[in-house]
């Protein structure tokens, strides 16, 4: 797992605008930071895969921020990106205000599946999962389990930001 930023202060504001206010002009800059943070993982990755949104959330938002990041990082690293390799076929509640325990209960491997046209691409592959924010790891963990069950040799993760917990502010 690699990340480019701490999810706090200015970084948090940038990401919230990117995620919820259609401020996508920072994608190239974000991707550069992410590629630098994960140079070692990118050198071994065979394919980059964004964490998917459920189709209804994608329609509401208009874009998948993880897919924008994954494509931009893949372009910088000269690696393929397969935005639809994973599907979120079950809708889940927003994780935004959930506790760590509630997040794990909300997002399980059952919410995801490998798209049938990409099943043959996973066996033995080294996959780099890409998402915007790592909070508890529930979503990345669920996606990784699905990919491992489908035969991936290795699944690593890359996020733009990570929530850093301390005892005064547990999630």
Long-range pairs of 93-98 with CB within 8 A, sequence gap ≥ 24: 95/135, 95/138, 95/139
Query: Which bin fits 5, alpha (ψ -120 to 50), beta or left (φ > 0)?
Result: beta
Strands (DSSP E) contained in the chain are 2-6, 47-50, 86-88, 112-114, 126-134, 154-162
Q: Give the pLDDT of residue 3.
A: 96
Q: What is the pTM of this model?
A: 0.90
Q: Give the pLDDT of residue 166.
A: 66
Does residue 170 fall inside a structural domain?
no
Q: Give the pLDDT of residue 18.
A: 85
| Alpha carbon distance 94, 9 (integer Å) | 22
Does residue 168 fall inside a structural domain?
no
133: CATH = 3.40.50.2020
| Alpha carbon distance 131, 136 (integer Å) | 13
How far apart, in Å, are the Cα atoms of 1 and each of 7, 22, 35? Answer: 15, 26, 13
Bridge-based pairing of strands 154-162 and 126-134 is parallel
Contact 36, 4 (CB under 8 A): yes
Count structural domains, the chain.
1
Look up tokens 């065979």; give the residue.
Answer: 46
Does residue 167 fall inside a structural domain?
no
Q: What is the DSSP letter of 52?
A: P
Domain around 37: 2-162
Find the range with the poorest average confidence among 41-45, 86-90, 112-116, 151-155: 86-90
Q: Give 87-139 pLDDT, tens digit per residue.
A: 998 766 667 777 778 777 767 888 899 999 998 889 999 999 999 999 899 99
Does residue 11 fall inside a structural domain?
yes
């Amino acid at each position: 797992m690699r990340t480019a930023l701490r999810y706090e202060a200015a970084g948090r504001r940038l990401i919230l605008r990117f995620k919820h206010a259609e401020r996508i002009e920072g994608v190239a800059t974000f991707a550069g930071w992410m590629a630098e943070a994960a140079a070692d993982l990118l050198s071994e990755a065979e394919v980059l895969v964004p964490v998917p949104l459920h189709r209804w959330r994608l329609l509401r938002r208009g874009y998948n921020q993880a897919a924008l990041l994954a494509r931009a990082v893949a372009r910088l690293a000269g690696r393929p990106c397969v935005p639809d390799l994973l599907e979120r076929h079950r809708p889940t509640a927003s994780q935004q205000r959930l506790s760590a325990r509630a997040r794990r209960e909300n997002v399980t491997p059952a919410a995801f599946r490998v798209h049938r046209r990409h099943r043959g691409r996973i066996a033995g592959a080294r996959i780099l999962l890409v998402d915007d924010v790592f909070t508890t790891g529930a979503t990345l963990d669920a996606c990784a389990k699905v990919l491992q069950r489908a035969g991936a040799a290795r699944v690593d993760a890359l996020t733009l930001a990570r929530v850093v917990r301390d005892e005064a502010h547990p999630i």
